[in-house]
Each structure stands twice: as structure tokens, then as C-alpha cells.
Amino acid sequence: MKGIWNGVFRLGLYLIAVFLVSACGRQTDVNLTPQEGKTRIVVTTTFIGDVVKNIAEDRVDVYALLTAGQNPHSYQPAPKDLVAVSEADLILVNGFGLEDFLEDLLSGSDTKAKVIVVSEGIAPLMMGGHIIGEDDHGSEDPLEAVLGQDPHVWFDPNNILVWAENITIALAEEDPENEAFYQGNLDKFQKQLMELDVWIREQIEIIPEDQRELVTDHFTLGYFGNEYGLAQIGTVIPALTTEAQTSGMELAELINTIREYQTKAIFIGADFDPNLAQRVADETGVELVTLYFGSLTDGEPAGTYLSFMQYNVSAIVEALR
């Protein structure tokens, strides 16, 4: 909520966080005591953190605001987050409206860090999968298009290529002595992403053409569908965030859509309350399939971006083939 980080409250949070750090000693799990000489980077999501790890390895200190398994749409800043942001050299964010909390967090920390939107250069999609600026048919109101930007860019590895380039440039500007190291790792990671893209296309070919429709818990797979030829035909919550509400009429429309397209599965996030989706599944006789949407996992099965995509694609193909 805007305005939450004001005056005394901001100071109070900071003092609480400092007290917690001093009381608990070296908080290595949250990197509140970064190593001397290393660039201190705060990332908003585990996906961005994984890309930084691929590019920089252990030459930077990374602190993730959103931890493994945490839903980005329901995140609330903690005092330790305020401290990490205040001490950062770089802050790397997804953009496209994912980090609604960012303005308050930045003003509350009084950070001097440079904020980098890693999605800069990616053509944003609207909620329905329309590319903003592509033509005049996606939204009659340009403001509606901006407010409806889909932040789930990480479901297309071609977008992560853009992330990796933007992150490498930011790291090299902050730490020019390691520029060659970062560039070398960028080249390796780009090759892995391009190999992943080829693999995904091969996997999608396994799905019959008349079964390449997606029903999800909320609008999450727009970029994935646009890139690989799958249509996102319905959602349990017709919004870009799981924090939105749905109505009985909207659920009835979804049930009719599933029956019309003879869809085989509803894909829901591991952190999503399955009750509504289960009602639709029971009514239509389709399968509920769990995917990972908002973050990586702590270890297997989706502990890195590459394994995250491999897991999700394999689950989608298995359900729709």
C-alpha cells in the first residue's frame, strides 16, 4: 500500500532490522554482511538471481527479496529486506508491474543503488497475450494496455537472453575489472538458453495440434504460448495476479470453454490454492497438473532456471500429448 514507508515507521523498521542482525550474528543466509570488495546486488526474484549466478558466479553478493517458493504477487517487505536494499550497489528488477512494492521499499530504505529493469528491450504482452504496440486491436485504451502488461516474461528463454545481456552490462559497469569474466559466462549461458529453446520446440511437436490449448490458474503462460504456438484459452482467475478475485459467472464460462475445446488439463501453480481449480476440474473431468510459476524451488525439481523450464515443459507435454 502506497505511503506505508513514512517517517517514524521507516526509521523503526530499519532499527528493528539492525537489532535483529546484531542479535543473531552473521546472517549468511540473507547476505546482510557482504564480503568486502564484492558488488552487493539485490534481486527481486529467484529467476533474476539465477541469471546473476550464471553470469557472475561467486564474484558478487546476491540477496533475493522473493525466496524459493514465494508468490511474487503476495510479497510483503520484511525489515531485513529494507537493510539489504539500503546497502545494495545494484537492484535488479523484473519490471512490467511485477514489483508493485518497489517504490515504497526504495523510499523507505533511502538506497543510493542503481535500479536496473532486466526486462528492458522485451516487447510486453497484455493480459490476453496481445503485444503492446503490435496493432490497434488489443485495447481501445492505451492506458489499459500499459496497466495490463504481463510480467511473466521468464516463461520464454528468449526473454532470458535479453535479461542476461542487460545484467552483464550492468555488472560490467559496476565492476569493470571482471568484465571479461562476465562476458565469457554470458556466452556460455546464452548457448544453454538457445539449446533450451530448441528442446522446447521439439517437445511441443509431441502435442497434437488440436490439443495445444492452455488453461491455467491465472494469466501466466502468455509469453510461452506466443513463442511456442499454444493458446491460453482460459484461467481460473482471469487476471495477471493470484490476488485477484473471480466470479461464479466467470467460472461457468471457463467450464464451457474447457468443454468446447475438450481441454485435458488445468495447470495450477504449486503455491496456488487449488480449491477453485478443483471445482472446475470436478465439473469437467479434467486433470489438475501442478507447475512452478512464480519462483524457483529450493533444490530439485526446479532449482535453476533451466531445470524450471524443463520441468514445466515436460509436465505440459505429458498432460496434453
| Percent composition of the chain: helix, strand, coil (DSSP 3-state, to 5) | 50, 10, 40
* CATH numeric code, 7-196: 3.40.50.1980
**Region label for 96, one of left (φ > 0), alpha (ψ between -120 and 50) or beta (otherwise):** left
Sequence ranges of the domains in the chain: 7-196, 206-320
pLDDT digits (tens, 9 = 90+) for 271-307: 888 899 999 999 999 999 999 999 999 999 999 999 9
Quick one: CA dihedral 241, 219, 239, 93, positive or negative?
A: positive
Grid coordinates representing 268? 495450477
Contact 274, 268 (CB under 8 A): yes
Separation of CA 88 from chain center? 21
pLDDT digits (tens, 9 = 90+) for 60-87: 999 999 999 887 777 888 899 999 999 9
E-state strands within the chain: 39-43, 60-64, 90-93, 114-117, 213-216, 231-235, 265-269, 287-291
Highest mean pLDDT among 17-21, 66-70, 246-250, 296-300: 296-300
User: Residue 20: pLDDT band by 50, 70, 90 thresholds?
Assistant: very low
Q: Could you give the 3-state DSSP secondary structure of residue 319?
A: helix
pLDDT digits (tens, 9 = 90+) for 128-167: 554 444 443 344 444 344 447 899 999 999 999 999 999 9
Contact 163, 119 (CB under 8 A): yes
Q: Do domains 7-196 and 206-320 have the same CATH topology?
A: yes
What average pLDDT is seen over the chain? 85
User: Residue 185: pLDDT band by 50, 70, 90 thresholds?
Assistant: very high
User: Residue 237: pLDDT band by 50, 70, 90 thresholds?
Assistant: confident
Distances (CA, A) of 40 to 36, 163, 252: 10, 18, 49
pLDDT of residue 238: 80
User: Residue 266: pLDDT band by 50, 70, 90 thresholds?
Assistant: very high
**Gap between the Cα atoms of 4 and 105, Å rounded:** 9
Tell which wins on pLDDT, 291 or 243: 291
What does DSSP say about strands 265-269 and 231-235: parallel, antiparallel, or unpaired?
unpaired
Cβ neighbors of 82 (< 8 A, separation 6 or more) are: 10, 13, 14, 17, 105, 108, 109
User: Residue 245: pLDDT band by 50, 70, 90 thresholds?
Assistant: low
Burial class (CB in 10 A: 0-12, 13-18, 19+), 118: buried
pLDDT of residue 129: 53
Which CATH superfamily does the domain covering 206-320 fall into? Nitrogenase molybdenum iron protein domain (3.40.50.1980)
pLDDT of residue 35: 57
